[in-house]
């Protein structure tokens, strides 16, 4: 497997499971951020594939939620990923592997990482994956019980599509009254997030 990896990957809470064994009912949903509980009433099933577009903080929130609860995750093909932002959201970097340059076949790298991880975030660099390849990797994700989140690209047959857009900011340290342009620090970003597919079909505003 090509590419450079940072972070560490260890045994997951699930432990090793035979390929023909279903996950226990208590473990068949991926941990979702509390801020998205209303948007994702059924959470994301383990082994599913979701396409995330818009603000990157949504994918980081998922990483933070999974690793803070003891799960393991990987981020593939995102050389400029904001790890500091992930930490501020509660991510445990000791449970996160980062492969910024996965080489010529990032999909294969992501497929290999599914063995033992709870979540893999895969950046496609604006590309789409052929339907036959997508079906094969989706089947592997389902078999391994690993949720695959696609960013900056498209995935045929994804069970969920999440879109997040910045709709406002909260500024601190800019003095009393209305914020002055160029002054203060952005302490919170408001996002409008919508979901379609098996997780729902509505929108809400969340903070970041």
Is residue 92 a part of any domain in this protein?
Answer: yes
The tens digit of pLDDT for each residue in 92-129 reads 999 999 999 999 999 999 999 999 899 999 999 999 89
Token readout for 117 is: 């991880």
At 23, is the pLDDT very low, low, confident or very high (cuts 50, 70, 90)?
Answer: very low
Listed range (15-24, 58-67, 92-101, 124-133) with the worst mean pLDDT:
15-24
Is residue 48 a part of any domain in this protein?
Answer: yes
| CA–CA distance, 66 with 153 (Å, rounded to integer) | 22
| CA–CA distance, 75 with 151 (Å, rounded to integer) | 10
| CA–CA distance, 77 with 106 (Å, rounded to integer) | 7
Residue 73, domain extent: 39-161
Give the three-state DSSP class for 36.
Answer: helix
Is residue 175 a part of any domain in this protein?
Answer: no
The CATH number covering residue 89 comes to: 3.40.50.300
HSE of 24, CA atoms in CB hemisphere, 13 A: 6
Mean pLDDT of 72-93: 93
Phi, psi of 158 (to 5 degrees): -60, 140
What total number of domains does the chain contain? 1
Instruction: Return the closest-CA partner of residue 164 out of 147, 129, 189.
Output: 189
Is residue 113 a part of any domain in this protein?
Answer: yes
Angle at 100 between CA 65 and CA 64, to 5 degrees: 5
Is residue 77 a part of any domain in this protein?
Answer: yes
Mean pLDDT of 124-142: 94
At 7, is the pLDDT very low, low, confident or very high (cuts 50, 70, 90)?
Answer: very low
Overall pTM > 0.75 = no
Is residue 174 a part of any domain in this protein?
Answer: no
């Amino acid at each position: 497997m090509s590419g450079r990896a940072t972070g560490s990957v260890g045994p997951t809470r699930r432990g090793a499971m035979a390929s023909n064994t279903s996950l226990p009912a208590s473990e068949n949903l991926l941990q979702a951020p509390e801020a998205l509980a209303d948007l994702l009433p059924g959470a994301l099933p383990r082994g599913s594939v979701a396409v995330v577009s818009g603000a990157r903080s949504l994918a980081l929130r998922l990483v933070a939620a999974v690793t803070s609860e003891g799960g393991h995750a990987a981020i593939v093909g995102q050389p400029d990923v904001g790890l500091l932002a992930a930490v501020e959201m509660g991510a445990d970097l000791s449970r996160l592997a980062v492969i910024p340059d996965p080489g010529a076949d990032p999909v294969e790298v992501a497929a290999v990482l599914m063995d033992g991880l709870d979540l893999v975030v895969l950046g496609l660099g604006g590309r789409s994956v052929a339907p036959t390849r997508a079906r094969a990797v989706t089947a592997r994700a389902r078999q391994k019980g690993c949720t695959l989140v696609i960013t900056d690209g498209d995935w045929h047959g994804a069970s969920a599509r999440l879109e997040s857009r910045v709709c406002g900011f909260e500024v601190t340290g800019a003095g009393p009254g209305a914020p002055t342009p160029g002054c203060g620090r952005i302490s919170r970003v408001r996002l409008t997030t919508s979901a379609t597919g098996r997780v729902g079909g509505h929108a809400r505003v969340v903070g970041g």
